[in-house]
């Protein structure tokens, strides 16, 4: 059997995973928890969002935006 490298024992758990575990424990204890830690919602997007996504993809708007973000949006935020 293969032995894991020593550095594996030194690795740390991703913070979002720890928060998800805590949220699950609280949920199991009866608390109403809305977990936003990992970004995996337990519901689907509204139909309008899905339709808009399909249209954007079909028109070629499926790549990443510039690293700094879209300039018109940055100007609005500023």
Alpha-carbon span 26 to 29, nearest angstrom:
5
DSSP 33: -
pTM of the model: 0.40
Report pLDDT for 10.
Answer: 79
Structure-token match 């936003």, residue found: 36
pLDDT per residue over 18-54, tens digit each? 888 888 999 999 999 887 766 777 788 999 999 999 9
């Amino acid at each position: 059997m293969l032995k894991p490298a020593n550095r594996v024992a030194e690795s740390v758990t991703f913070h979002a995973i720890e928060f998800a575990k805590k949220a699950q424990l609280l949920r199991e204890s009866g608390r109403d928890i809305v977990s936003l830690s990992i970004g995996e919602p337990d519901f689907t997007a509204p139909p309008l969002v899905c339709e808009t996504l399909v249209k954007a993809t079909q028109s070629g708007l499926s790549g990443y935006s510039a690293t700094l973000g879209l300039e018109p949006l940055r100007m609005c935020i500023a």
